[in-house]
Amino acid sequence: MSRSAIGYIALVAFGLIAPFFIYPVLVMKVLCFALFACAFNLLLGYTGLLSFGHAVFLGTAGYVTGHALKVWEVPTLVGLLAGTGAAAVMGWVIGSLAIRRQGIYFAMVTLALAQMVFFYFLQAPFTGGEDGLQGVPRGTLFGFDLADDMNLYYLVLAIFAASFWLIQRTIHSPFGQILKAIRENEPRAISLGYDVAKYKLLAFVLSAGLAGLAGATKTLVFKFATLSDAHWHTSGEVVLMTLLGGMGTVFGPLVGATVIVTLQNELADKVGSLVTVIMGAIFVICVLAFRRGIVGESLALYRRMIGQKP
Amino acid sequence: MKQKILVGLTAMALATLGTQGAFAQAAKAKTGKLSGDMVKVAVMNDMAGVYADIGGPGSVEAAKMAVADFGGKMFGKPIEVVFADHQNKPDVGASKAREWFDVQGVDMIVDVPTSSVAIAIAKVANEKKRVYMNTGAATKALTNEECTPYTVHYAYDTYALANGTGKAIVQTGGKTWFFLTADYAFGHALEADTAAVVKASGGEVKGAVRHPLSASDFSSFLLQAQASKAQIIGLANAGGDTINSVKAANEFGLTKTQTLAGLLMFISDVHSLGLKTAQGMMLTDAWYWDTNEETRKFGRRFFDKMKRMPSFDQAAVYSATLTYLKAVQEAGTDDADAVMKVLKKTKINDVFTKGGYVRADGRMVHDMYLMQVKKPEDSKYPWDYYQLKKVIPAEEAFQPLALSTCPMLKKK
Amino acid sequence: MSEIFGIPIQAFMGQLMLGLVNGSFYAMLSLGLAVIFGMLNIINFAHGALYMVGAFMAWLGLTYLDLGYWQALVLAPLCVGVFGVLIERTMLQWLYKLDHLYGLLLTFGLALVLEGLFINIFGVSGQPYSIPDEFSGAFNLGFMFLPKYRAWVIVSSLVVCFATWYVIEKTRLGAYLRAATENPKLTQAFGINVPLMVMLTYGFGAALAGFAGVLAAPAIQVSPLMGSNLIIVVFAVVVIGGMGSILGSILTGIGLGVIEGLTKVFYAEASSTVVFIIMAIVLMIRPAGLFGKEK
């Protein structure tokens, strides 16, 4: 227990000082995607549901928050909540349809429904089509001007930390245990008398809402919301982040998101056109040789090491 | 910290910008202030996605050619070209641009196709007060509601394409129109702008059909276009959608009785379709390599390096980079405000345009060309694709300044 | 002139024919997915990419080896099939004992790699492949001019689809296959080489995708992204049909192609979403799919 406490404290400390030596916008981007991946992990890693349309929640919240802040000129906090709420509602609609099927079908259904929503965003006037919703004001919070990157950074860090805590609490709660039971053996969970559909839906809505919070925050960071957030490529990316970091691990998604976002940023001016190939290759390698992801494999290695000594 | 201009202004008065190659550096300012002791030009575009053939690595090469033609040095200090692939993701583009400005001391960003990324970068450049010369994006928002004091929209926009194609075709006899429109904001804007021009020039719009983005099959939409019996079928779509519409139109024999007009079509599209399929199409181009001796010379130089002829975007990247460097030299500094001041009052004369100029809203205004794709038997050599139908003079080609919704204009 | 729902009957019939053409592609692709799924329990996300590779094989054959359309129609699916076998042997076979989701993830990664590589080599705008001379021109059906090539697409894909159905449902080989699907261990015990059948099944599914790619090459631009746009719709088709039955996936593919075609006439704006809407409705009424068996 104390070892993990030290880990958390070190992480928080790192988070607090990171923007002084790493570019703050990049760190904020990493945090947004990390939150997105953590929310996704709640579904894939702990409930065993592979959604291939999670980008839609990121995109929906981004657009709603952007629209609320820019057109309705609501306070920043209200904008964030509106986006998160919209994503949760969207999660409820898509989730109630998708949980009617299991396994691979579930993945295909979420992908297809997400594609439908993407087409809606493409055509809807309020999204600005392929121009995107641009120039979203960041506003102020408790008297702090969020236009300043540093102020915003600490807000983003706080949002991430709070959501991360919420996810941990969920996983370790009785609710989280039931989710794991469903992941391990759904028929048994049913026979134990649990209303599996209800739990799955609840997990889906929670995951969608948190993914939405990530999208809303991202809009605040970049001051725009665009179609690429809702595109199925982004859905694929979040799967990759979770897989690479280690699904079903606490820190996996954070590590995965950090690696992928940094990689995208660094590769942009080096290999240019090979980015997609590299992403795909990472996918293949992960599935074939590295299924527990960076965190999962390291943990296994660590356990083997201490397991051998005594 | 940026410093104000102190030196080098005296030489400015002498200068009308010389032509490329024989650029007389000695006659100009020899000293000036440069941030970071160098000029850094950054090319940002799509290296592997849908716009890679229009800009891509070719744009980077074009920018390097411009630097070489300028002489490779500014006030004795180096000029560097860097590049990045925005992967058509606005967040990747915007964070790269911020990093470039804040950490790497980039002075100017050029190219940037994909509307959403283009506008996002315009905002960043405005915030950081650096020059931004967009050649790759089609959205007219860059010089309208999203205009900034630091944006120059260099090559083309949807208004120019719609206006040029619509007006010029009606004038050459294509009176009745039917539109095949991509069903999202870009397609709608292109259709609306063209339809307005067609009507204003005395033509008639018989109807339109909307198709979804990246439709798998265009035949049923084309049957509806065929049934309209319109002379001209305006393709208000782009990329793969345009290419597949043209292919299907051929297969269903539309091209025997009707003429296709590509409202956003690049030479790379024609190249990939092949003349057999594309022949007879009308389209508006901002620049064509086989126009005169100067453009041919540039085209061949480019071809030697990239094994394909430059698109107008790549030529525009060359021209924009060169124009920027000349402006820095004339201003005696790479301070964005000073450079923009020079840019907005200097005529541009190079391989891309003769007498082009940058307007108050950031629009670079120059001649556009209505082209018709040649028949295979008329094409004498590789990349001999277009027959010039009409030069659209600069003043007619672009959206009049009076119609621009750019907020900067109202302040004055 | 008579009309149906305010649309001239000519236009209606014309769109019906075109819907049939698209439906043939959906049918071939969803059939391939169903065959692979039945045997390997894997959803082949790389199916769209294999379809694209098939089209490129045809183009490469024509450009560099001077192989005509007919040779391509035989050789390209063979190449894609062999490629599929290689994928199965080197990668997929290690995943059978794991959760089925890993197969989906692996093939998704493969699709990205294939698309990325082809973009790097051939660019995005794609390559032209002209219609073979035998099929230039059109039939006058009275209500429309149907280009001969489109007619050929309908005929050939129907033949291939029903041949597949026949082999699986009516022959000895098919019986082994069905047995291996139902109970691999028992089938193995009867002396049938199940791993070999699994390998050949994936190869065959891939070859079907390659065949569809060659058929598509003259009709649409041969471009690296041609598969990824299609595959999501095909997934929806598969969900609607349910993958339990071979015939079901063929019929659903054709049917949805026709429905989509008609939507283009009545309300073109919805033609990209109609398949997804039908999917949502089917999920509400009959979650296992039209032809699916609830497991």
Q: Read off the pLDDT band of A133 (50, 70, 90).
A: confident
Q: Is pLDDT at C284 greater than 90 in this prediction?
A: no
Q: Which residues contact A66 (CB under 8 A, 6 or more apart)?
A: A133, A136, A219, A224, A225
The rounded percent of chain B whose pLDDT value lies above 90 is 38
Report residue B407 CA to chain centroid gap: 23
B259-262 and B282-285 strand pairing: parallel
In 3D, which of B103, B110, B100, B8 has the Cα closest to residue B67? B110
Reduced to 3 states (helix: H, G, I; strand: E, B; else coil), residue A48 is: coil
The rounded percent of chain A whose pLDDT value lies above 90 is 36
Give pLDDT, residue C232: 84
Please state the rounded mean pLDDT for residues B293-315.
Answer: 92
The Cα–Cα gap between A260 and A34 comes to: 10
Q: Which residue has the tokens 């599914």?
A: C205
Nearest 5°: CA angle at B327, between B324 and B331? 140
Give pLDDT, residue B411: 62
Give pLDDT, residue B18: 40
Tell me the per-residue pLDDT of A18-68, one tens digit each, with 9 for 90 and over: 888 888 888 999 999 999 999 999 999 898 899 989 999 999 999 999 999
Q: Is pLDDT at A268 greater than 90 in this prediction?
A: no
Tell me the per-residue pLDDT of C116-163, one tens digit each, with 9 for 90 and over: 888 888 877 778 787 888 887 778 777 677 888 888 999 999 999 989
Please state the rounded mean pLDDT for residues A129-143.
Answer: 81
Distances (CA, A) of C158 to C22, C163, C203: 12, 8, 20
The Cα–Cα gap between B142 and B136 comes to: 12
Give pLDDT, residue A92: 95
Q: Read off the pLDDT band of B21 (50, 70, 90).
A: very low
Cβ within 8 Å, pair C112-A123: no
Taking CA–CA distances from C232, the nearest residue in chain A reads A112
Cβ within 8 Å, pair C113-A275: no
Q: A228 to chain B: which residues are within 8 Å by CB?
A: 88-91, 116
Q: Read off the pLDDT band of B16 (50, 70, 90).
A: very low
Cβ within 8 Å, pair C272-B213: yes
Give pLDDT, residue A88: 96
Taking CA–CA distances from A274, the nearest residue in chain B reads B48
Q: Is pLDDT at A310 greater than 60 in this prediction?
A: no
Give pLDDT, residue C83: 94
Q: Is pLDDT at C27 greater than 70 in this prediction?
A: yes
Cβ within 8 Å, pair C108-A239: yes
Q: Is pLDDT at B36 greater than 70 in this prediction?
A: yes
The Cα–Cα gap between A85 and A95 comes to: 15
Tell me the per-residue pLDDT of A186-210, one tens digit each, with 9 for 90 and over: 888 888 888 899 999 999 999 999 9
Residue A6, Cβ density class (10 Å: 0-12 exposed, 13-18 middle, ≥19 buried): exposed
In 3D, which of B206, B266, B258 has the Cα closest to residue B242? B266
Domain spans in chain A, listed from the N-terminal domain onward = 22-231
Residue of higher predicted confidence among C63 and B288: B288
Give pLDDT, residue A216: 94
Residue B51, Cβ density class (10 Å: 0-12 exposed, 13-18 middle, ≥19 buried): buried
Helices (H) and strands (E) in chain B, counts: 14, 16
Q: Which other chains touch chain A, taking contact as 3+ CB pairs less than 8 Å apart?
A: B, C
Q: Read off the pLDDT band of C294 (50, 70, 90).
A: low
Q: Is pLDDT at B216 greater than 60 in this prediction?
A: yes
- Give the bridge partners for B386, in sequence order: B373
The length of chain A in residues reads 310
The rounded percent of chain A whose pLDDT value lies above 70 is 96
The Cα–Cα gap between B127 and B184 comes to: 29
Q: A125 to chain B: which residues are within 8 Å by CB?
A: 185
Q: Is pLDDT at C93 greater than 70 in this prediction?
A: yes
Distances (CA, A) of B361 to A36, B130, B143: 39, 16, 5
Determine the distance in angstroms separating the CA of B47 from the nearest CA of chain A, rounded to an integer.
5
Q: C128 to chain B: which residues are within 8 Å by CB?
A: 247, 272-274, 276-277
Give pLDDT, residue A187: 87
Any idea which of A120-124, A306-310, B227-231, C222-226 has the lowest mean pLDDT? A306-310
pTM value > 0.90: no
Continuous segment of H or E residues that includes residue A141: strand A140-141
Q: Is pLDDT at B20 greater than 50 in this prediction?
A: no
The Cα–Cα gap between A16 and B369 comes to: 57
The Cα–Cα gap between B90 and C115 comes to: 22
Give pLDDT, residue C110: 93
Tell me the per-residue pLDDT of B40-66, one tens digit each, with 9 for 90 and over: 999 998 887 777 778 888 999 999 999
Please state the rounded mean pLDDT for residues B258-271.
Answer: 89
Please state the rounded mean pLDDT for residues B84-100.
Answer: 86
Reduced to 3 states (helix: H, G, I; strand: E, B; else coil), residue A200 is: helix
| Best residue of A41, A104, A241, A275 to probe chain C, by most C CBs closer than 10 Å | A104
Helices marked H in chain C = 9-40, 47-64, 69-90, 101-122, 148-170, 172-182, 184-189, 194-216, 226-241, 246-266, 274-285
Q: Read off the pLDDT band of C5 (50, 70, 90).
A: low
